[in-house]
């Protein structure tokens, strides 16, 4: 019978006070791995749930300020905008019951639309999500974020019968 786990055992043999240099090296290895993962791999179907979770986080950080937590257009900054942000929880309703994924992704991205439509109040996320000075192709990462946001927005849609 193994003895009940102690704090020492739970630490899995890692020395209680690792050298700072080691900790820094580990942190930078983890950061490099995460960047590589985000840049290299487009999302597969099995990762849709993760993608919605990522979309939720991105939404809270980048979008809720204008569009509101639930997407209804009541974010704290919305009053200061000339054009009120549209209710993102009724996109499906406005499109005859079909959530237009490709169109929504294109609006969020904004790189193709902004030139054709003049200025827009919303940032061009396809550019904003790029990391300046990162010397690698960021397109996969940018598209991954936009896909995650699109999937998350789809989960916010209200049934059309609601007032």
- What residue ranges bind ligand HEC (CB under 6 A)? 62-63, 65-67, 77, 81, 83, 85-86, 88, 91, 104, 107-108, 120-122, 125, 149
| Shorter beta-carbon distance to ligand HEC: residue 39 or 122 | 122
| Shorter beta-carbon distance to ligand HEC: residue 108 or 142 | 108
| Min dist. Cβ of residue 48 to ligand HEC (A) | 17
| Min dist. Cβ of residue 119 to ligand HEC (A) | 8
| Min dist. Cβ of residue 8 to ligand HEC (A) | 45
Interatomic CA distance for residues 119 and 156, integer angstroms:
27
Listed residue (28, 37, 67) closest to 144, CA to CA: 37
CA distances from residue 76 to 55, 71, 86, 122, 155 in whole angstroms, order as listed: 20, 12, 14, 15, 22
| Shorter beta-carbon distance to ligand HEC: residue 63 or 142 | 63
| Min dist. Cβ of residue 41 to ligand HEC (A) | 21
| Shorter beta-carbon distance to ligand HEC: residue 9 or 95 | 95
| Contact between residue 105 and residue 147 where contact means Cβ atoms under 8 Å apart | yes
Token duo for residue 18: 């690792």
| Shorter beta-carbon distance to ligand HEC: residue 31 or 121 | 121
Q: Interhelix angle for 101-109 vs 139-155, to 10°? A: 130
CB under 8 Å to 56, separation ≥6 — which residues?
Answer: 152
CA distances from residue 9 to 1, 19, 26, 74 in whole angstroms, order as listed: 15, 20, 21, 50
| Min dist. Cβ of residue 47 to ligand HEC (A) | 19
């Amino acid at each position: 019978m193994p003895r009940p786990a102690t704090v020492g055992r739970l630490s899995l043999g890692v020395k209680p006070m690792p050298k700072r240099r080691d900790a820094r090296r580990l942190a930078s290895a983890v950061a490099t791995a995460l960047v590589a993962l985000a840049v290299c791999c487009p999302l597969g179907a099995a990762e849709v749930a993760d993608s919605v979770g990522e979309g939720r986080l991105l939404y809270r950080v980048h979008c809720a300020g204008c569009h509101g937590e639930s997407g209804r257009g009541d974010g704290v900054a919305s009053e200061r905008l000339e054009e009120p942000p549209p209710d993102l929880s009724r996109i499906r309703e406005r499109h005859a019951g079909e959530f237009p994924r490709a169109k929504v992704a294109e609006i969020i991205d904004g790189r193709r639309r902004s030139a054709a439509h003049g200025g827009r109040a919303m940032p061009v996320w396809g550019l904003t999500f790029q990391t300046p000075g990162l010397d690698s192709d960021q397109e996969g990462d940018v598209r991954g974020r936009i896909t995650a946001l699109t999937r998350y927005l789809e989960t916010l849609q209200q049934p059309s019968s609601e007032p």
